[in-house]
């Protein structure tokens, strides 16, 4: 498992979400970068740009630590309008349900599309 979370190196990715609003092929690009460059991934940041309907993703990493493979998964949590009408406990419950599908989570991030789709992204260590 990741030993040190502190990091100061970043790799940027950009692309359009898949038809289901998830990261689609961008998730595989991130995993490939980590694998091919033999880095220890530590964090992920995501911004959805409404005007261009694109995602900008940053991955924070270390290259002075033993590398490990990662998987990036994005899971829809519902429409923001449905979640906003309830308290934060409902959102926490949706995130807990989503995270139960993933083992060895390193970090997570949230994004909302221009159509109000609310998604959580998990980066997890594999292997």
Under DSSP, is residue 27 helix (H, G, I), strand (E, B) or coil? helix
Which has the higher per-residue pLDDT, 84 or 121?
121
Tokens 């990715």 appear where? Answer: 13
Contact between 13 and 29 (Cβ < 8 Å): yes
pLDDT score at 2: 45
pLDDT band at 87 (very low <50, low <70, confident <90, very high): low
**Per-residue pLDDT at 5 exceeds 90:** no
Q: Is residue 26 within 8 Å of 47, Cβ to Cβ?
A: no
Q: What average pLDDT is seen over the chain?
A: 91
pLDDT, position 21: 94
Q: Looking at the predicted structure, is the pLDDT value of residue 1 above 80?
A: no
Three-state SS for 69? Answer: coil
- CA nearest 73: which of 124, 2, 3? 124
pLDDT tens digit sequence for 16-68: 999 999 999 999 999 999 999 999 999 999 999 999 999 999 999 999 999 99
Cα 104 from Cα 32, distance rounded (Å): 18
Average pLDDT (68-81) is: 90
């Amino acid at each position: 498992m990741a030993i040190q979370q502190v990091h100061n190196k970043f790799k940027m990715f950009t692309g359009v979400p898949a038809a289901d609003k998830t990261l689609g092929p961008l998730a595989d690009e991130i995993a490939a970068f980590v694998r091919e460059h033999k880095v220890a991934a530590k964090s992920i940041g995501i911004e959805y740009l409404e005007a261009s309907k694109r995602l900008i993703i940053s991955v924070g990493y270390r290259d002075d630590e033993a590398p490990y493979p990662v998987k990036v998964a994005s899971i829809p949590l519902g429409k923001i309008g449905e979640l906003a009408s309830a308290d934060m406990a409902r959102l926490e419950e949706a995130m807990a349900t989503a995270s139960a599908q993933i083992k060895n989570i390193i970090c997570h991030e949230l994004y909302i599309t221009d159509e109000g789709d609310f998604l959580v992204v998990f980066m997890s260590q594999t292997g």
